[in-house]
């Protein structure tokens, strides 16, 4: 070990010498000058002293002051100076993969190295690191995964958790785990970094850990609200303009109660403030226009108008547009591309900035375009804090945000766009004042801004806990409710109990709250458990293609469009896809398959047009399907490409698998004379949404409907549904059975109860045999 120590020491010296050489070179000098100009530099010694004297330190500072790129580097440099350059091991987590990649590249460049020398990164399915890598940027999810295998974080000397102010679920989750670990690892150092000033919360969570604030600088930014924009541009909102994009909240995945409560809160706050607002200073035109403003929707036309106003009238400078998600970014981009100014590449460089862009695209975003060309970047709220585009002078803020990332440990792939907080709005505005005074165009009235909440609710308190509970179990963190009671802000115990109960019902947890084989698989699939279960069953029963389509469809918007003026035509188009199969899900499968076929013949657009389908949503479904397939292969659920679609034409089987996923979302069907009466186990009578194919029927010749979602308006309404038979519920439902079935088939449930994954062959055989015996079709 003396020899080993000597080798390590020599390596440390080598690393130090290499750094000194680079720092002596002209580029090195220039870089050092730049780094010294950042506000973080003045605090370097204070920061390093605090880190060496305390186990936990909380650092805050305005975006762009140098937290992410400098602080981990300061620690690395001081370790190298102390000749621990070969033994230190610094991990810095980022909430998003793109920032992990961008930041590591930047830090390597600041050190005159390429990635994989002292600095590296690791995100899901990708990474660059080498033998000498001592500073690793990774997603929060990656560190959580590492904890799964190495609960003590052996060999890690520093953990830096970045962007904690966002209060993402993964970050809150990681903090509980780390808080638990610290007493067992007294030598481990933890640094928490946050953009805004709620550092006290984190400090007190870690027993009054010291806080260090980096004072920053920004230039003043002038705010324009909707009324000012309308007044200045003469643009008029029309009710028609409002129908376009954001109204659809169909596929929301939030915990229903919370969402409903929040939605009404927000809606009434917005309405209240609109009523209270006094717009008398503005022209009649503007006042009329404001009365058409719909808080649920943001017209792309309005954004287009603002952008062309900037391009025609304003000084040079890049524009950053905050949108809610990348599907919206793409369709806005499509629209802008046919605009005479905005779509002209000799005048405008139009870029999209989202989580899954390539590093070539990233470069374009950071680079300054040629003189005379205006850069316009359409971004998600990722550009709020994680990514800094230096030359931005104008910000356009739609006022809403949505989680869209699809990351293995990000549990909620699709959320409803909702109003941002004042803190976010301020953050967005601040992005315009990086290099000179800037301007921010808020696409909502000032009175609405005043009614926004101060901070966003932490993700842990506003998303379903089912996936999180699975994860707590798969990380072997003990009792779920005990674990969650240790969070910064704990979710209500009722939501926790509901989640556990649900996981037991679908067979992911056993009675003692232990992970089942199914639960283990589900914890590796980043969609809601019920959709994950559908995928698992689709893989086991070899009907993967249609099931992937169903799951992808349920995770995106509804591709079936129902324009008000052509409702009948649209309904009959959808009914044709349903082919009297009494299933919205099968209708989707056929519509998608038809579209793929049409795409192959180059007439996808025409196909969508005739059938009232959104080609954009179908494309999104297509790309999700690819991700699912890759993932299922990765976790070993699909091994044989030849057989995985052996039963894909078998409608009964597909229905059964849909039933497996959606159970206990089930209601009984009783056909009356001219109407159908539907009842769920817990709500009593329920109704179908008008755009379900089953809503057009006078009789449903099956005893049950399984459904994806239910929403209470005045009555309880069911969304997409599929008719299923007794045998399907018996074999593919959960452990509890509707009473009607219990009495008739109780003795058979052990055959169909839980599916055992290791006997997939015999299971498929069992199913087929039972299908012949019990089939009622
Ligand atoms: P913080 O984490 O405090 O928001 P960062 O450390 O990310 O700040 O960035 C500090 C500064 O480094 C930014 O203001 C910007 O000037 C510069 N910078 C960061 N990333 C890049 C990059 N990829 N290319 C050029 N400059 C960058
Ligand atoms: Mg940062």
Q: Tens digit of pLDDT for each residue in 138-160?
A: 999 899 888 877 889 999 999 99
Number of neighbouring beta carbons within 10 Å of residue 233: 18
**Per-residue confidence band for 413, with pLDDT thresholds at 50, 70 and 90:** very low
Q: Indicate whether residue 61 lines ligand 1 (CB < 6 A).
A: yes
Q: Which of 381, 404, 441 shows the shortest CA–CA distance to 226? A: 441
Q: Tens digit of pLDDT for each residue in 673-727?
A: 888 889 887 777 888 988 899 988 888 988 899 998 877 666 778 889 999 988 7
Q: Indicate whether residue 70 lines ligand 1 (CB < 6 A).
A: yes
β-strands 56-61, 126-128: how paired? unpaired
Give mean pLDDT, residues 159-172.
91
DSSP state of 586: H
Residue 652 and residue 644: Cα distance in Å, rounded?
16
> Measured in angstroms, how far is the CA atom of residue 213 from the centroid of ligand 2?
14
pLDDT at residue 414 greater than cutoff 60: no
Q: How many residues does the chain have?
A: 777
Q: Tens digit of pLDDT for each residue in 563-601?
A: 767 888 989 999 999 988 999 999 999 999 999 999 999
Q: Which of 31, 98, 95, 96 shows the shortest CA–CA distance to 66? A: 31
722 contacts 658 by C-beta, under 8 angstroms:
yes
Q: What proportion of the chain, given as a percentage, has pLDDT over 90?
A: 45
Atom of ligand 1 nearest to the CA of 71: 6
Q: Indicate whether residue 71 lines ligand 1 (CB < 6 A).
A: no
Q: Which of 721, 538, 707 shows the shortest CA–CA distance to 638? A: 538
Ligand nearest to the CA of 216: 1
> Measured in angstroms, how far is the CA atom of residue 390 from the centroid of ligand 1?
8
Atom of ligand 1 nearest to the CA of 70: 6
Atom of ligand 1 nearest to the CA of 102: 23
CA atoms within 13 A on the CB side of 726: 14
Residue 674 and residue 697: Cα distance in Å, rounded?
10
Closest C-alpha to ligand 1, atom 5: 66
> Measured in angstroms, how far is the CA atom of residue 71 from the centroid of ligand 2?
10
pLDDT given for residue 104 in this prediction: 96
Q: DSSP labels for 585-596?
A: HHHHHHHHHHHH
β-strands 400-401, 418-419: how paired? antiparallel
Q: Indicate whether residue 348 lines ligand 1 (CB < 6 A).
A: no
Q: Indicate whether residue 464 lines ligand 1 (CB < 6 A).
A: no
Closest C-alpha to ligand 1, atom 17: 64
Give mean pLDDT, residues 188-195.
94
Atom of ligand 1 nearest to the CA of 434: 14
Residue 751 and residue 745: Cα distance in Å, rounded?
11
> Measured in angstroms, how far is the CA atom of residue 315 from the centroid of ligand 2?
28
Q: What proportion of the chain, given as a percentage, has pLDDT over 70?
A: 87
Q: Indicate whether residue 98 lines ligand 1 (CB < 6 A).
A: no
> Measured in angstroms, how far is the CA atom of residue 95 from the centroid of ligand 2?
10
Ligand nearest to the CA of 359: 1
Which residues does residue 212 pair with via DSSP β-bridges, in sequence order?
Answer: 59
Give mean pLDDT, residues 618-634.
89
Q: Mutate which of 27, 44, 64, 103 to test ligand 1's pocket (most atoms within 8 Å of Cβ)?
A: 64
> Measured in angstroms, how far is the CA atom of residue 89 from the centroid of ligand 1?
22
Residue 59 and residue 213: Cα distance in Å, rounded?
6
415 contacts 248 by C-beta, under 8 angstroms:
no
> Measured in angstroms, how far is the CA atom of residue 69 from the centroid of ligand 1?
6
pLDDT given for residue 13 in this prediction: 82
Q: Indicate whether residue 213 lines ligand 1 (CB < 6 A).
A: no
> Measured in angstroms, how far is the CA atom of residue 306 from the centroid of ligand 2?
29
Tell me whether the omega of the peptide bond preceding residue 162 falls within 30 degrees of 0, making it cis: no
Q: Tens digit of pLDDT for each residue in 83-142?
A: 888 899 999 999 988 889 989 999 999 999 999 999 999 987 789 999 889 999 999 989
pTM of the model: 0.73
Residues near ligand 2 ion, CB 5 Å cutoff: 67-68
State the complex-level ipTM: 0.99
DSSP state of 687: E
Phi, psi at 145, each rounded to 5° = -65, -40
pLDDT given for residue 267 in this prediction: 64
Give mean pLDDT, residues 520-544.
89
For the chain, the average pLDDT equals 84
* 758 vs 644, higher pLDDT: 644
Q: Is 354 left (phi over 0), alpha (psi -120 to 50) or beta?
A: beta
Residue 501 and residue 725: Cα distance in Å, rounded?
25
* 733 vs 441, higher pLDDT: 441
73 contacts 107 by C-beta, under 8 angstroms:
yes
Closest C-alpha to ligand 1, atom 22: 106
Atom of ligand 1 nearest to the CA of 69: 6
Residue 545 and residue 551: Cα distance in Å, rounded?
10
Q: Which of 634, 718, 663 shows the shortest CA–CA distance to 533? A: 663
**Per-residue confidence band for 612, with pLDDT thresholds at 50, 70 and 90:** very high
């Amino acid at each position: 070990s003396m020899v080993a120590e000597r080798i390590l020491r020599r390596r440390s010296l080598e690393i130090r010498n290499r750094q000194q050489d680079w720092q002596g070179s002209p580029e090195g000098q220039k870089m050092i000058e730049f780094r010294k100009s950042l506000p973080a530099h003045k605090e370097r010694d204070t920061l390093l002293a605090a880190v060496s004297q305390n186990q936990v330190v909380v650092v805050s500072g305005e975006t762009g002051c140098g937290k992410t790129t400098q602080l981990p580097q300061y620690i690395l440099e001081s370790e190298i100076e102390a000749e621990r350059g070969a033994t230190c091991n610094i991990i810095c987590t980022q909430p998003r993969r793109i920032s992990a990649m961008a930041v590591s590249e930047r830090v390597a460049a600041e050190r005159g190295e390429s990635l994989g020398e002292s600095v590296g990164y690791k995100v899901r399915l990708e990474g660059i690191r080498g033998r000498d890598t001592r500073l690793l940027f990774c997603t929060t999810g990656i560190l959580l995964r590492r904890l799964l295998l190495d609960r003590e974080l052996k060999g890690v000397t520093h953990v830096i958790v970045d962007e904690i102010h966002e209060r993402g679920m993964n970050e809150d989750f990681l903090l509980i785990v780390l808080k638990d670990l610290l007493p067992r690892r007294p030598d481990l150092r933890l640094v928490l970094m946050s953009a805004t000033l709620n550092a006290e919360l984190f400090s007190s969570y870690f027993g009054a850990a010291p806080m260090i604030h980096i004072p920053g600088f920004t230039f003043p930014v002038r705010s324009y609200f909707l009324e000012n924009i309308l007044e200045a541009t003469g643009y008029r909102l029309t009710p028609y303009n409002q129908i376009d994009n954001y109204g659809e909240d169909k596929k929301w995945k939030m915990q229903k109660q919370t969402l409903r409560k929040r939605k009404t809160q927000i809606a009434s706050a917005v309405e209240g403030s609109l009523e209270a607002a006094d717009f008398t200073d503005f022209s009649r035109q503007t006042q009329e226009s404001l009365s058409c403003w719909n808080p649920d929707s943001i017209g792309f036309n309005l954004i287009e108008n603002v952008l062309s106003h900037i391009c025609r009238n304003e000084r040079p400078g890049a524009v950053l547009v905050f949108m809610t998600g990348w599907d919206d970014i793409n369709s806005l981009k499509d629209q802008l591309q046919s605009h005479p100014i905005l779509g002209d590449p000799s005048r405008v460089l139009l870029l999209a900035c989202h989580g899954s862009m390539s590093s070539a695209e990233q470069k374009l975003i950071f680079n300054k375009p040629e003189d005379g060309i205006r850069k316009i970047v359409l971004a998600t709220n990722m550009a709020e804090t994680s990514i800094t585009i230096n030359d931005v002078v104008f910000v356009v803020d739609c006022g809403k945000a949505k989680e869209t990332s699809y990351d293995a440990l990000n549990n909620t792939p699709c959320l409803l766009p909702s109003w941002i907080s004042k803190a976010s709005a301020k953050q967005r505005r601040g992005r315009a004042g990086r290099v000179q005074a800037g301007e921010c165009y808020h696409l909502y009235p000032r009175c609405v801004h005043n009614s926004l909440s101060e901070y966003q609710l932490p993700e842990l308190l506003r998303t379903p806990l089912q996936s999180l509970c699975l994860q707590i179990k798969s990380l072997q963190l003990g009792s779920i409710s005990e674990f969650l009671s240790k969070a910064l802000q704990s979710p209500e115990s009722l939501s926790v109990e509901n989640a556990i109960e649900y996981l037991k019902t679908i067979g992911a947890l056993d009675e003692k709250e232990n992970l089942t084989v199914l639960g283990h698989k589900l914890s590796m699939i980043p969609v809601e458990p019920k959709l994950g279960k559908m995928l698992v069953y689709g893989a086991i029963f070899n009907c993967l293609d249609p099931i992937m389509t169903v799951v992808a469809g349920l995770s995106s918007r509804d591709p079936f469009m129902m324009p008000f003026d052509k409702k009948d035509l649209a309904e009959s188009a959808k009914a044709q896809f349903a082919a009297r199969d009494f299933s919205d899900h099968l209708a989707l499968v056929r519509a998608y398959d038809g579209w793929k076929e049409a795409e192959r013949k180059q007439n996808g657009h025409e196909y969508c047009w005739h059938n009232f389908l959104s080609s954009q949503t179908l494309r999104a479904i297509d790309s999700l399907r690819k991700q699912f397939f890759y993932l299922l292969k990765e976790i070993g659920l699909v091994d044989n490409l030849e057989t995985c679609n052996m039963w894909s034409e078998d409608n009964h089987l597909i229905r059964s698998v849909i039933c497996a996923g959606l159970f206990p979302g089930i209601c009984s069907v009783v056909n009356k004379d001219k109407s159908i009466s539907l009842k769920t186990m817990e709500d009593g009578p329920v109704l179908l949404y008008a755009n379900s194919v089953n809503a057009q029927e006078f009789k449903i010749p099956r005893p049950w409907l399984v459904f994806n979602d239910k929403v209470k308006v005045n009555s309880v309404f069911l969304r997409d549904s599929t008719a299923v038979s007794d045998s399907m519920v018996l074999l593919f439902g959960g452990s509890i059975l509707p009473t009607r079935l219990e009495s008739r088939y109780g003795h058979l449930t052990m055959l169909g109860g839980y599916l055992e994954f290791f006997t997939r062959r015999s299971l498929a055989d069992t199913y087929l045999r039972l299908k012949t015996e019990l089939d009622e079709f």
